[in-house]
Chain A
Amino acid sequence: MNSAIIWILLPGLLGIGLLLYRPRDRFPQILAGLLSLFLTWIAWQLPIDVVLNIGPFSFEIFPSLSFFGRSFTLTSAAQPLLTFIYFFQTLWIAGTVVAKPAKPFVPISMICVSLFVAALSVDPFLYAAILIALAILALIPLLSLAGEKVRPGVLRFMIFQIFAVPFILFTGWILSGVEASPGNLDLILRSGLLLLLGFTFLLGLFPFHSWIPMLARESHPYVVGFLLFFLPTISTVFALGFFDRYAWLRESQFVYQILTLIGGLSVLLSGLWAFVERHLGRLLGYAAMMGVGFSLLGIGQGVSQGAQLFFALLLPQSLGLWVLAVSLGSLNNKKVDLSLDGIADAFADSPLTVIGLILAVFSLAGLPLLASFPPRVDLLANLSTSAPWAAIIALLGSLGLAVAGVKLVLAVIRRSSKPQSGWVEEIETEAAAKAGETKDPFAWAFIILAGVGFLGFGLFSRFFLASVPDFASMFPLLFP
C-alpha cells in the first residue's frame, strides 16, 4: 500500500464517485465522513515506511509514489498534518448535517482535500501551486450554484488565484539560481518580490483581498468557510516549505520583518473592517483574514519559534472558523438575514446556533478562556520583545473583532428584552413553535462540541499544544 494512494487517490476517487450519486439521502455524507475518520485514524496510528504484522499478514505503507517522472511523498513527518487535515475534513462533513450546503459539497470537498494533500506531497514542491489552483477550480460550482446569477466575487477569486500560479512557479525557477549563486542580490530581490506577490494573491492579503468579503457575502457561508479554512492553511504550509528548503530565505532577518509587517497589517485591517461590518458573512471573511495575519505574525518570529507558533495558532483558529461557518450556514439555510438585526431576530428561533456564532467570534478574537487565547498570548509576548508596534496593532485588530462580537450580543439582548405585543395565546404558540431548535439533537451536538472545544482548548491548552512540535517536525531545517 502507498501513502499517496491512501490519502490522495482514495478520497479523490470517492469524491468523483459520489458526484455521480443521484439520490438525495445522507449516504454520501456517511460514506465520506467514515472514510475521512478512517484516514484520520490511520494517519494518527499507523506508521509509514514500517512493516506491520497483524497475525499472519504483514503490510507496509510506502511513503512515495512516482508519477510522470516526479513523486508524491508523504513520510511519517507529515502524519500529524494529515491527521489534522482529515480530522477537520470529518468535521466539515459532519457540519453539513446542520449547515446544509448544496448537495455536491461533500464530494467536491473530498476532491479538494485530496488535491490539497497532493499539493503538500508533490516533489518538486513548487508544483503545489498548480494543484492548489486545481482545487480552487473544483470549488467554483459550489461558490456559484447552477442556475443562480454569477456574482463578481467568484470571478475575481478565480482570477486572483490563477494569477498566483505563474508568480510562484517562476519564483521556484529563480530560487534554484539563487541556490547556485547565493551572493547575487539581484536574483534574491527578484525572487523575493515574485514570491511575495504570489503568496499575496494566494492568501488574499492586502491589497488583493477584495474577493474575500465579496465571496463571503455572495456565496453559501459554509462553502466560504471551508474555502477560507483550507486555502490559507495549505498555502501557508506550502510557504513554510520555501523557508525549509532555502537557507537564504530562512536566515534573512529582512524576510521575517516583512512577514511581521504584512501580518500586522492584515490583523489590523481585518479587525477594523470587522468592527464596522454589519453583514456576518463578511465578518467570517474578515475573521479568516485575521487568522492569516496572525499566522504570518507567528512565522515572522523566525526559525524554530515561527513554525511552532504557526501550528499553535492553527488549531484553535480552525475550530473557530468551523463553528462560525456551521452557525452561519445553518442560519443561512433557515433564510435568516445575516445582518446584525437578522441574527438578533433569529435568536428566538435558533438560540443554540446564535450562541455558537457568538462563541466562535469571541474565540477568533482571542478572548480569555476561549481557544485562541493561549497561543495568542504566547505570540503577543514574543512580539512585545521583538516588534512592540506589531503587538499593539495585533491587539487593536483583535479588539476590532471582539467589539464586533459585543455588537452582536447587544443586538441579541436588545431584541430579547423588547416586550412582545399581541394576545397571550398567540405569543405562547409562537414561542412553542420557535423552540424547534432546542429539540434538534444535531443542534445540541454541535453546540456541545463547540463549547467543549473552545473551553477545553482555552483551559487545557498545554495538552493540545503538546502536539505542536510534532507538526513542526515536518520542516526539519526550520524546526531543528
Chain B
Amino acid sequence: MDSGFIGLIILLLLLLCAAALLMSRDWRWVMGALGLQYFLAFLLVSSSWPLELAAVKLVAGWMAGAVLALTRMNLAIEPEEATKRLPTSPAFLVLSTFLVLLVVSGAAPALADWARQMSINQAWGGLILIGLGLLQVGLSGSNFRSVVGLLCLLSGFEILYAAVEASLLVAALLGVLNLGVGLAGSYLLQTPGTEQLE
C-alpha cells in the first residue's frame, strides 16, 4: 500500500493534512484534516498490520476527532487563542514546517535504515506527524489546538510503533489513549477559557 507512487501521494497528503492542522484558523478545516490524517495513517499502518487491526486506529482516531468536533460545534462562546507569546503568522508557520521537514529528511532515512521493520514511507510519515504535532503543541495558545497537536503527535508515533510491535493489546490500549485524549480535550474545551501561560 505504501510503496512507490501511491506511497508518495500518501506522504504528500499527510504533510498537507499536518500543515493544515497547524495553519488553519477554522476548526472545521482542522477537524476535516484530522479525519483525513487518521485515514492516511491507517494506510501506512496497514502495510505492517492486518487490515482489521489497523482499522482499530482509524476508528479510535475518528472517534476522538468526532468527540472534539461535537464539543467544539456545541460551544456557545467562541474560545479565544489565549496567548500571543509566539508568532503565529502564516509565513512563520510555513518556515517552521519547512524546518521540521528538513529535520525529518535527515532523520527518516536513518531511522528506516536502523529499524529494518520500518519502511521509509512509514518513517517519513511518522516523523512528519510527530514533528508538526510537537510544533502545534508548542505554539498553540488554546486547549483545542494543543489537544489536536497531541493527537497528531500520537498518530505519528503509532505509525512508527506499528512497524515494530503488532500486539492486539497495544492496539486496543493506544486506541483508548487516543479516545481518552479526545475526551479530556473535549472536557477542557467546555470550560470558560484558558488563562495566560506563565
Contacts and interface: CB of A to CB of B under 8 A. Distances in A.
Contacts of A68: 167-169, 172
B38 to A, nearest CB: 17
B195 A140 contact: no
Given A70-B169, A159-B137, A149 B181 contact: no
A173 interface: yes
Nearest to B185: A158
B73 interface: no
B165 A173 contact: yes
A461 to B, nearest CB: 40
B190 A155 contact: no
Nearest to B149: A159
Interface string B15-27: 0000000000000
Contacts of B184: 137, 140, 158
A134 B187 contact: no
B32 interface: no
From B137, B173, B187, B198, name the one whose CB has the most chain A CB atoms within 10 angstroms: B173
Interface in A112-134: 122, 127, 130-131, 133-134
Interface stretch (A163-171, A285-293, A332-340, A391-399): A163-171
Contact of B150 (A151, A162, A169, A173): A162
A146 interface: yes
B174 interface: yes
Nearest to A169: B161
B169 A137 contact: no
B157 interface: yes
A152 interface: yes
A138 B184 CA distance: 8
B121 interface: no
B155 to A, nearest CB: 11
Interface residues of B, number: 36
Contacts of B191: 144, 146-150
A154 interface: yes
Interface string B81-117: 0000000000000000000000000000000000000
B134 to A, nearest CB: 9
Contacts of A146: 187, 190-191
A214 B197 CA distance: 10
B183 interface: yes
A67 B169 contact: yes
Chain B at the A interface: SS class: helix
B176 A134 contact: yes
B50 interface: no
Contact of A150 (B137, B167, B193, B198): B193
B157 to A, nearest CB: 4
A140 B169 contact: no
A104 to B, nearest CB: 12
Nearest to B194: A150
Nearest to A134: B180
Nearest to A176: B164
Contact of B146 (A134, A155, A214): A155
A148 B197 CA distance: 16
Nearest to A135: B180
A141 B157 contact: no
B181 A137 contact: yes
B169 A149 contact: no
B192 A148 contact: yes
Contact of B194 (A138, A149, A169): A149
B154 interface: yes
User: Closest 4 interchain pairs by CB?
Assistant: A137-B180, A68-B169, A166-B157, A130-B173
19 contacts: A69-B169, A127-B169, A134-B180, A137-B180, A137-B184, A140-B188, A144-B187, A144-B188, A146-B187, A149-B191, A151-B194, A154-B188, A158-B184, A162-B150, A165-B154, A166-B153, A166-B161, A170-B160, A173-B164
